[in-house]
């Protein structure tokens, strides 16, 4: 097995036993990137000099006989909406084409503190709006399993990089499914932690009440290890939770005996691909064999989740994106006066989808429509949250497909935004409710495209998710 194919925990063993050096490992990743990048296009920026320097630092530490942490010296890459001091952070937008943040996001500080090796910044849908990476202002990322298909989005670069061996793990962000859906499309593990678990300080805001950073990894063990590294209260983010952070690797236990798993009937509705449905049902059968109890449940307001999300997310986005006015933030396109300058800047530098969201958001927030749309959406959001609270009185965890179908073709949905939005049906309810969720690979379609299922946990109960996901991974055969 090649080094780039290995997991972080395997590589940690090799590093501590001095079978490989961090420099050798990092160079191996860069040669893999050289080999794959032209066909995949996962990256927007490569940070080779910095990466090689860190690798040398880790090697010196090891040769001095010092202990290294679980992720020290592991090469990873970062979605391009997470601020990196001195490294361009574009959000795959032309409006931030030259933006070099003067500070690091809190997650970056945490990774640097452990000497992780940052390979570069990853492609995404512009400002994380989309589900295919086709909305990047720079290029489309391809799905490593089939180059004619999308890797999912918006963290498409993050998922494709892991699947193609161009990074050992990556960080993505998830506002309505952007970690879980690409993880599912690319056959990797992707987790959105509970809202507030990971600091959003330095994550360029899309929809602040929904956004959450999380890991994309090759297996559940790496997922737990990365969570350990990035979770925790942060005084720079007033929405980060003071809840204690457990050692998530303690939940890597293969045991689901008596675990009550709920299957919401609304998530298995018509319109789902038969092969996806079969693979997900097969996963539930494995759980049943291992002693879990499968219970049918109902989340009755699921049918309103898409409409609710596509009011709330654009409303928050329209507000967050007001700052890109050609004055204080981002690029500027000149005009005869300030109004023309702002108009030119935003017209030229924002992509189609971003403009669509700004228009929907401002419409929903405007006088006369606020009550009918935004306020109504907030009320329905509460009902969706209540559905989960009620369901979790009877079950420990909820199992659903991650997406209604496997990866679609590049270009297939780009001109039909509504169809693209409907793809998010299984993932957006969790963001509306602030709950944690993971996508786990569970097989392939007849066209050899990865399929994933989703586990949803109670708020702050990532531990049960990790235990259940790990159990599946160990027993899937």
Q: Which residues carry out catalysis?
A: 79, 154, 178
Q: Is 152 in the site for ligand GLN (CB under 6 A)?
A: no
By beta-carbon proximity to ligand GLN, the closer residue of 181 and 471 is 181
What backbone phi and psi angles, to 5 degrees, belong to 150?
-75, 155
Q: Is 166 in the site for ligand GLN (CB under 6 A)?
A: no
Q: Which stretch binds ligand GLN (CB under 6 A): 94-102, 171-179, 230-238, 388-396?
A: 171-179
Q: Which stretch binds ligand GLN (CB under 6 A): 34-42, 168-176, 372-380, 390-398?
A: 168-176
Is the sign of the CA dihedral 22, 23, 28, 30 positive or negative? positive
Q: Is 305 in the site for ligand GLN (CB under 6 A)?
A: no
In sequence order, what are the beta bridge partners of 216? 170, 190
What backbone phi and psi angles, to 5 degrees, belong to 82?
-110, 120
Site string for ligand GLN, 307-346 (x = CB under 6 A): ------x---------------------------------
Among 129, 191, 397, 413, binds ligand GLN (CB under 6 A): 129
Q: How far apart are CA 118 and CA 120, in angstroms?
A: 6
CA proximity to 126, closest of 82, 90, 72, 84 = 90
In sequence order, what are the beta bridge partners of 192? 437
Rg (the chain; Cα; Å)? 21
> For ligand GLN, which residue has the nearest CB?
178
CA proximity to 157, closest of 179, 189, 129 = 179
By beta-carbon proximity to ligand GLN, the closer residue of 28 and 125 is 125
Instruction: Dump strand ranges (E) for 26-167.
Output: 43-46, 75-79, 117-122
Find the shortest distance in angstroms from Cβ 380 to ligand GLN.
17
DSSP state of 448: -
Find the shortest distance in angstroms from Cβ 152 to ligand GLN.
9
CA proximity to 196, closest of 167, 223, 164, 233 = 233
Q: Is 461 in the site for ligand GLN (CB under 6 A)?
A: no
- Chain residues 201-230 in contact with ligand GLN, contact rule CB under 6 A: 206
Q: Which stretch binds ligand GLN (CB under 6 A): 124-132, 230-238, 379-387, 395-403?
A: 124-132
Q: Is 424 in the site for ligand GLN (CB under 6 A)?
A: yes
Q: Is 402 in the site for ligand GLN (CB under 6 A)?
A: no
SS3 state of residue 217: strand
Q: How far apart are CA 289 and CA 256, in angstroms?
A: 10
By beta-carbon proximity to ligand GLN, the closer residue of 174 and 222 is 174
Among 75, 130, 196, 326, binds ligand GLN (CB under 6 A): 130
By beta-carbon proximity to ligand GLN, the closer residue of 203 and 226 is 203
By beta-carbon proximity to ligand GLN, the closer residue of 131 and 202 is 131
Find the shortest distance in angstroms from Cβ 386 to ligand GLN.
23
Helix/strand/coil percentages in the chain, nearest 5: 45, 15, 40
Q: Which stretch binds ligand GLN (CB under 6 A): 50-58, 108-116, 176-184, 275-283?
A: 176-184
Q: Using an 8 Å Cβ cutoff, are 73 and 150 in contact?
A: no
What backbone phi and psi angles, to 5 degrees, belong to 275?
-65, -35
CA proximity to 55, closest of 68, 34, 74 = 74
Q: Which residues bind ligand GLN (CB under 6 A)?
A: 128-131, 154, 174-178, 206, 313, 424
């Amino acid at each position: 097995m090649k080094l780039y194919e290995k997991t972080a925990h395997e590589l940690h063993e090799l590093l501590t036993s001095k079978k490989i050096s961090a420099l050798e490992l990092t160079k191996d990743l860069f040669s893999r990137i050289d080999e794959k990048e032209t066909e995949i296009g996962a990256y927007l920026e490569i940070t080779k000099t910095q990466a090689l320097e860190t690798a040398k630092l880790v090697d010196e530490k090891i040769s001095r006989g010092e202990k290294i942490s679980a992720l020290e010296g592991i090469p990873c890459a970062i979605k391009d909406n997470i601020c990196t001091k001195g490294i361009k952070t574009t959000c795959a937008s032309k409006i931030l084409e030259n933006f070099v943040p003067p500070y690091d996001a809190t997650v970056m500080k945490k990774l640097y503190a452990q000497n992780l090796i940052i390979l570069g910044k990853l492609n995404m849908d512009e400002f994380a709006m989309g589900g295919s990476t086709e909305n990047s202002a720079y290029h489309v990322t391809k799905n490593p399993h089939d180059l004619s298909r999308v890797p999912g989005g918006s963290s498409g670069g993050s998922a494709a990089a892991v699947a193609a061996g161009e990074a050992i793990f990556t960080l993505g962000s998830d506002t309505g499914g952007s970690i879980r859906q690409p993880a599912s499309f690319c056959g990797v593990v992707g987790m959105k932690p509970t809202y507030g678990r990971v600091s959003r300080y330095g994550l360029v805001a899309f929809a602040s009440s929904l956004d959450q950073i999380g890991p994309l990894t090759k297996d559940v063990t790496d997922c737990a290890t990365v969570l350990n590294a990035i979770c925790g209260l942060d005084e720079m983010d007033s929405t980060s939770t003071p809840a204690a952070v457990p050692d998530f690797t303690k939940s890597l236990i293969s045991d689901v005996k008596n675990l009550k798993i709920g299957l919401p009937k609304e998530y298995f509705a018509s319109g789902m691909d038969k092969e996806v449905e079969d693979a997900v049902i097969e996963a539930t059968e494995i759980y049943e064999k291992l002693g879990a109890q499968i219970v049918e449940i109902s989340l009755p307001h699921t049918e309103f989740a898409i409409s609710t999300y596509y009011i709330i997310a654009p409303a928050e986005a329209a507000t967050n994106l007001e700052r890109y006015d050609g004055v204080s933030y981002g690029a500027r396109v000149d005009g005869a006066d300030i109004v023309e300058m702002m108009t030119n800047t935003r017209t030229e530098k924002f992509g189609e989808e971003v403009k669509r969201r700004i228009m929907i958001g401002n419409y929903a927030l405007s006088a006369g429509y606020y009550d009918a749309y935004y306020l109504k959406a907030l009320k329905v959001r509460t009902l969706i949250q209540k559905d989960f609270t009620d369901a979790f009185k009877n079950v420990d965890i909820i199992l659903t497909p991650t997406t209604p179908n496997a990866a679609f073709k590049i270009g297939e949905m780009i001109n039909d935004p509504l169809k693209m939005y409907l793809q998010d049906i299984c993932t957006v309810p969790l963001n509306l409710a602030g709950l944690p969720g993971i996508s786990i690979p569970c097989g392939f379609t007849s066209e050899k495209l990865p399929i994933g299922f989703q586990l949803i946990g109670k708020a702050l109960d990532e531990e049960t998710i990790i235990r259940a996901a790990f159990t599946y991974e160990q027993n899937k055969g």
